Amino acid sequence: MSHYQVLIIGGGTGGITVAAQLKRKNKSLSIGLVEPSDTHYYQPAWTLVGAGTFDFEKTKRKEVDYIPKGVAWIKDYATGFEPEKNTVFTKSSGNITYDYLVVSPGLVMDYSLLPGLEEAMKTDAVGSVYTDPKKFWSMLNNFKGGNAVFTQANTPIKCGGAPQKIMYLSEHFLRKKGIRNNTNVIFATPGTVIFGVKEIAKTLNKIIIDRDIIFKTYYAPIKIDAENKEITFRFMNSHLQNCAMVVDNKIGEDIVGESDIKMKYDMLHLAPPQRAPDFIRDSPLALQDDPNKGWVSVDINTLQHTKYPNVFGLGDVVALPTAKTGAAIRKQAPVVVGNILHLMKENTLDKPVYEGYSSCPLVTGYGKMVLAEFKYNNVRDSDPLISKFVDTTKEQFSMWLLKKYGLPFMYWNLMLRGKA
C-alpha cells in the first residue's frame, strides 16, 4: 500500500496549484496526486472559443508537463474514502494512505438532471461552451435569426458568469453579422438579478437595456423538447401569483399549467446541470442533509473539513457561499497550503483565512470587459493595484486584453507553477 504525507485528489487547477506551492515551500514532502487525465484544459478561455476569438487548441496542454517535480502522479481514478483510516480507494492502484488529504476533483456535468437535454445536445440548435465551445461557435456562425436563448441550470455551476458572457459576445457577433434586427436575444436565469454585486449589476443592467436584450429572472429550465425546439421553464417567484404577469408574446411564450412557461428557440445555449462526482457524493466527506448536499463540507474560512481535521478541500467541489472559479482557487490554495504546513510543524492552523474571494471577468463584447471581484456576502473586493488605474466596474478594453492574454499567461506560467 502506498503512503504519502500529502495526498491530493484531482490534477486540475486546485490540485496542481496546491502541489506546486507545497513543493516550493518544502521540497522534502512526499506528495501523491491522483488524476486520470492526460490533458489539462484552461477552461476560462472556452467562452472566447465559443465566440470565435480564441483557438481551442491553445487551451490544451499535457498534464505531465504540469505535475510538479518530485510529486508522484497516480494516473488513476479515486473511487472512495475511509477518512477514519486515512485511506483513499482507487480504481486500479489499490488503496493509498495519507497524513493529510487535499480534495479538489472539480465537478461533473449531469444531463440527466434536465429532461430532454441529452437528446437536445445532439442537435445543431443546442450547445454549450461548458462542454463543446467549438460546436457553439459553429452554431453561432450558422444562425440565421429568431430566438437566441441563453440560460443556465438551477444547480450550482462553475464560472457563473459564463452563460451571460457568451450571450453578450453572441449579441455583438449578430450585430456585426447584420442579423441582430431579426433576432430576439433572451437571457433567462433562475436567479433574481443579473449579478449579485450591486456596483457590477448597475453596469450590466444598463448594457442589457442599451442592447435590447430580453432579460428573464426566476426562469429555471425544467424540460427541453428538441424535436419542437421548445424549452420549458418553471417560474420560481412565489410572490407573483400568476406567471402570466411575465409572459412575453413577442418571443412566443406560452403558459403551461400554473407556473411553467414554454419558449421556442432557434438557437439555445445553456450551462448544463452540474454536481459533485459520485465518489464524492457517496462519501463521508460530503454533506448529507443540507441545501449543499453532495458537496464537500469544509470550514468556509480555513477550508479544513468540518469533521476530519487532516482533510482539506478547495475548488469547485467544496460547499462555499461564493462563485466556483479559478480566481477563487488562486486565493484558496495558499490557505490550504499554509494550514497543512502549519499543522505539520505546530499542530495548529495558520493565521491567514479565505474570505470568499472570487472574480468573474465579464466579457461584454469583443474588446470589452467588466472585471467583477467580490468576497462572501457579495461584497466588492477589487484588486487595490488595478483599481488605482482602472474602474473595473465599467467596460474596459484593458480588461479585455487581461482576459485574452494576461490571465492565460498567468495561469500556465505562474499559478500552476505555484508562483501566484
Half-sphere exposure of 327 (CA within 13 A, CB side): 24
Q: Which of 19, 49, 159, 197 is catalytic?
A: 159
Coil/strand/helix, residue 26: coil
Locate the DSSP E strands across 200-348.
214-216, 219-225, 230-235, 254-256, 260-264, 267-271, 274-275, 311-313
360 is a catalytic site residue: yes
Q: Which of 51, 166, 276, 360 is catalytic?
A: 360
Q: Crossing angle for the helix pair 133-142 and 162-177, nearest 10 degrees?
A: 30
Q: How far apart are CA 117 and CA 403, in angstroms?
A: 30
Q: How far apart are CA 101 and CA 252, in angstroms?
A: 52
CA 283, 289, 291, 297 torsion-angle sign:
negative
159 is a catalytic site residue: yes
Q: How far apart are CA 203 and CA 90, in angstroms?
A: 48
Residue 420: burial class (beta carbons within 10 Å; 0-12, 13-18, 19+): middle
Cβ contact 209:201 at 8 Å: no
Cβ contact 319:307 at 8 Å: no
Active-site positions? 159, 360
